[in-house]
C-alpha cells in the first residue's frame, strides 16, 4: 500500500531479460534499511526487491506487468518515481494507492500556465469512466487531482514543487503513463452498476 507521495527519483542503470525482466534502479534511499522482498513502487508499479547494493536495488518484472504498464519501454538512464511502502503511523498525504496499475494513459498536450504545467491525457476507454473532476488518480505513482474530464481525455495541473520532486518536470507529448484509478471510484461505479441491474 502506498500514498502516491514520491520520496525519491531513481535511475535505471541495467535491464536484463532472463525469463522475467530484471531491472537495477539507483536510489538515494538507505538500502541498508530496505529488506529483501520489500515492495517499492517504481513509476507507480509495486515491485519486489530481489537484490540490493549500496545505492541500488533490483526487481524482477513479469511479462504480465510489462504488458499492462509502461515498463516495457524503460531504458537505461530513464528516471523513475519511487515510493517505499506505507508503514502503520505514516502520514497519508495523497490517497490510498495499491501499486497495481490499471492501464496506460498517453500524454496528449503539455501547456504552461504561469509557473504550473497543464497536462492533458487520454485514458483507455474502459478506465475513463472511473475518472471524475476533482477525483484522484495515480499517474506514474504520483497522487494527483483531476481538473477536468472530456470523454476519455482528462487534465492534470502540476505545480512547480511536484515537477521538482518527481519526474513530471520531464513530461512530453506522446509519453506513456502508468494509470491507477482511485479504488473508491472503482467501488462506487460497481455499486452503481449493481443498483442499476
Give the containing element (helix H, strand E) for 84.
strand 79-84
Give the number of domains in the chain: 2
pTM recorded for the entire structure: 0.92
> Per-residue pLDDT averaged across 85-105, rounded?
79
Closest of 132, 105, 126 to residue 188, by C-alpha: 132
Q: How confident is the model at residue 77 (pLDDT cuts 50, 70, 90)?
A: very high
Q: Examine the domain organization and report whether 179 and 110 are in the same domain.
A: yes
Q: Examine the domain organization and report whether 116 and 188 are in the same domain.
A: yes
Q: Is the model's pLDDT at 70 over the cut of 90? A: yes
Assigned domain for 3 exists: no
Q: Is the model's pLDDT at 90 over the cut of 80? A: no
Enumerate residues 6+ apart whose C-beta is below 8 A from 124: 103, 104, 105, 152, 179
* Average pLDDT score over the chain: 92
What's the burial of 13, exposed, middle or buried (CB within 10 Å: 0-12/13-18/19+)?
Answer: middle
Instruction: Look at residues 84, 114, 142 and tell me which one is the last residue of a structural domain.
Output: 84
Instruction: Look at residues 84, 113, 132 and tell me which one is the last residue of a structural domain.
Output: 84
Q: Examine the domain organization and report whether 117 and 59 are in the same domain.
A: no
Determine the 3-state secondary structure of 9 from DSSP. Answer: strand
**Tell me: the pLDDT tens digits for 137-152?**
999 999 999 999 999 9
CA pair distance 185, 135, nearest whole angstrom: 8
Q: Which domain holds residue 36?
A: 8-84
Assigned domain for 98 exists: no
Q: Examine the domain organization and report whether 113 and 143 are in the same domain.
A: yes
> Per-residue pLDDT averaged across 96-107, rounded?
92
Q: Is the model's pLDDT at 166 over the cut of 90? A: yes
Assigned domain for 115 exists: yes
Amino acid at each position: 500500500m502506498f500514498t502516491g507521495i514520491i520520496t525519491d527519483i531513481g535511475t535505471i542503470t541495467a535491464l536484463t531479460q532472463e525469463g522475467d525482466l530484471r531491472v537495477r534502479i539507483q536510489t538515494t534511499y538507505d538500502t541498508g534499511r530496505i529488506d529483501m522482498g520489500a515492495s517499492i513502487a517504481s513509476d507507480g508499479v509495486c515491485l519486489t526487491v530481489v537484490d540490493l547494493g549500496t545505492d541500488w536495488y533490483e526487481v524482477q518484472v513479469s511479462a504480465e506487468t510489462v504488458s499492462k504498464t509502461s515498463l516495457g519501454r524503460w531504458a537505461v538512464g530513464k528516471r523513475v518515481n519511487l515510493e517505499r511502502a506505507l508503514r502503520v503511523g505514516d502520514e497519508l498525504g495523497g490517497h490510498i494507492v495499491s501499486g497495481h496499475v490499471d492501464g496506460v494513459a498517453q500524454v496528449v498536450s503539455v501547456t504552461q500556465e504561469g509557473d504550473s504545467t497543464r497536462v492533458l491525457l487520454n485514458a483507455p476507454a474502459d478506465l475513463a469512466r472511473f475518472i471524475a473532476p476533482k477525483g484522484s488518480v495515480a499517474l506514474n505513482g504520483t497522487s494527483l487531482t483531476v481538473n477536468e474530464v472530456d470523454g476519455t481525455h482528462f487534465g492534470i495541473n502540476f505545480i512547480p514543487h511536484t515537477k521538482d520532486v518527481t519526474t513530471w518536470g520531464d513530461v512530453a507529448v506522446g509519453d506513456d503513463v502508468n494509470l491507477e484509478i482511485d479504488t473508491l471510484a472503482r467501488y462506487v461505479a460497481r455499486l452503481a452498476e449493481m443498483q442499476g441491474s
